[in-house]
Amino acid sequence: MPGLGAAQPEHATAGYLGAYGRMLLIRRFEAAMERLRALGEVQGPIHPYAGREAVAVGVCMALEPADYVSGHDHGHGHALAKGTDPEALAAELLGRETGVCGGRAGAASVIDLQNGLIGCHGTVGGSIAAAVGAGLAAGRRGRVAVAFFGGPSADLGYFHECMGIAAVRRLPVVLVCERDLHAERARGIAGADVAGRAAAHGMPSQVVDGDDLWAVRAAAAAAVARARSGEGPTLLECRARGLDEDSGGAGTMPRDPLAGARERLLADGVAADVLQELERGVEAELDRAVDRALAAPHPDPAGALATEFSPAR
């Protein structure tokens, strides 16, 4: 599968073909983990990321491998978008010693420092503070730090505290609010939008169609370039229409970003058989990853010395 990265030209079909494959991998990975959870192989919930794949993948297309990403409790989407190996991630959710965190983190707390994933956070809004903290170091290393968080996080006090720190210090941070409009029908947020809140801190912001991979990548590329050049943070409000997070993957999806990306690629001249070959390759890769993860041993509590930061692999 072609890799992701800022070196991809804005309209390079090959880059977007690889990104579509990564979106499909996230969707299929989640479905596979839900099946294994039903069989008792995965302990605990798998918070669905379905319907938001274009956000994580589009943003990560604009990043370099060494850049930092901080995710929320739907963290498998962010991990796979940033480059975490699907076998290591599957083994993690299955509690195997070959997992990316030695089988200790589970779905909502994955860390993969080798790929710049500084953590996924079960605490609402925890990713924001983590990314701003990483931004203090990122600027000295020529890197950028990205926080993914949901709409309700913007109603918390430290959302503004973190924005204030990032703005005053001109940190190389991109704050990506993943607004799941489908889920928010039930609980919503205060006010009409999140992007408008950046004005109080003199921070630029943009509302982005989170179902459109091309739109997300373009907005993220501009925000990342701004951060990397020393101009400070940006807030992106990516509005998607994913599944209800409590539906367990059984809900409806008003607008599927995967279908939209596939249609765009066909319209841009990618042959149907090329897409089909890519899709078969993703399925085969995932099947192999899951089989190997299932075959891996569980960690031995008496002898395993790994931590979630340094798994024994």
pLDDT tens digits for range 101-124 = 998 887 778 999 999 999 898 778
Query: Domain total for the chain?
Result: 1
More reliable by pLDDT, 213 or 312: 213
Residue 6 resides in a domain: no
Please say if the pLDDT value at position 1 is more than 50.
no
Residue 142 resides in a domain: yes
Percent of the chain with pLDDT over 90: 68
Residue 309 resides in a domain: no
Whole-number Å distance between alpha carbons of 17 and 232: 31
Structure confidence at residue 242 as a pLDDT band (50, 70, 90)? low
pLDDT tens digits for range 131-169 = 999 999 998 899 999 999 988 888 888 899 999 999 999
For the chain, give the mean pLDDT: 87
What is the b/e burial string over 158-193, where b = at least 16 CB atoms within 10 angstroms of the residue's CB?
Answer: ebeebbbbbbeeebbbbbbbbbbbbbbeeeebeeee
Please say if the pLDDT value at position 43 is more than 60.
yes
Structure confidence at residue 306 as a pLDDT band (50, 70, 90)? low
Do the strands 205-209 and 145-150 form a parallel or antiparallel pair, or are they unpaired?
unpaired
Residue 66 resides in a domain: yes
Please say if the pLDDT value at position 45 is more than 70.
yes
Its domain, for residue 201, covers: 13-187+196-295
Residue 4 resides in a domain: no
Whole-number Å distance between alpha carbons of 113 and 100: 10
Residue 302 resides in a domain: no
Q: What CATH number has the domain bearing residue 76?
A: 3.40.50.970
Q: Per-residue pLDDT averaged across 246-265, rounded?
A: 76
Please say if the pLDDT value at position 248 is more than 90.
no
